[in-house]
Amino acid sequence: MSGPIVHLAGVSKRYGSISALDSADLLIERGELLAVVGPSGSGKSTLLNIIGTLARPTAGSLEIDGYDVAGLSDRELSALRARTIGFVFQQFHLAPGVPALDIVADGLLYGGKQRGYRRREAERALRRVGLGHRLQHLPHQLSGGEQQRVAVARAVLGDPPLLMADEPTGNLDSVSGAAVMDLLRELHGGGTTVVIITHDRDIASVLPREVRLKDGKIAEEVRR
């Protein structure tokens, strides 16, 4: 499909009297790697939720992968999200006592696929992120960086064209964090659009594009 993968035009989000996002215009082309940066309360999480179709705008228009979100039912929106967007969060959200292979395979549980297919795809995803030797390891047997890699493998299962990473290095030491950033760059190099939500200006400053938020507004954009 041609055209941008994300297009926000005048998007606002209000929670009662609180304006969490104010008249945001943002175009993300397919295959981009960019950071959305700003301090706590700047609107980063709201923008993540809007782009990730986890929340609907109060005003303005939003297109994801060519689809006008306003015209989709909740069921259609869930289907669009499932095939288009992968999520990686600061908290790894790995089920304790479950091997990495099954944690990732469960990402396809609601797609009606057979267990054998799910596990094959999960193994492929884990090998893609360099964890082919950790398939049967439990979360507590993995380092923080390895746990985040399991979360990334789960997010890229099914090859979604858009990956949303929310503070993906926030719970990691500097070495593990750098390894995860290298992995995200590798995924971008393979054609995935990667959006990294962060408060870390050091991370944002080395990416090709930086979208800076302040008080719910897009205050500035920098391209390198």
Q: pLDDT tens string for the chain (224 positions)? A: 678 999 999 999 999 999 999 999 999 999 999 999 999 899 999 999 999 999 999 999 999 999 999 999 999 999 999 899 999 998 999 999 999 999 999 988 766 778 899 999 999 999 999 999 999 999 999 999 999 999 999 999 888 999 999 999 999 999 999 999 999 999 999 999 999 999 999 999 999 999 999 999 999 999 99
CATH 3.90.1150.10 holds for 6-223: no
Is 201:169 a contact under the CB 8 Å cutoff?
no
pTM assigned to the model: 0.92
The fraction of the chain above a pLDDT of 90, given in percent, is 89
The CA distance from 56 to 74, in Å, is: 10
Q: What is the DSSP string of the chain?
A: --S-SEEEEEEEEEETTEEEEEEEEEEE-TT-EEEEE--TTSSHHHHHHHHTTSS--SEEEEEETTEEGGGS-HHHHHHHHHHHEEEE-SS--PPTTS-HHHHHHGGGGGGT--HHHHHHHHHHHHHHTT-TT-TT--GGGS-HHHHHHHHHHHHHTT--SEEEEESTTTTS-HHHHHHHHHHHHHHHHTT-EEEEEES-HHHHTTSSEEEEEETTEEEEEEE-
Strand partners for 129: none
Strand partners for 19: 14
Distant-in-sequence, close-in-space partners of 206: CB < 8 Å, separation ≥ 6: none
**Domain parsing of the chain, residue ranges:** 6-223
Is 90:39 a contact under the CB 8 Å cutoff?
no
- Residue 155 vs residues 14, 71, 206: alpha-carbon distances, Å: 28, 26, 23
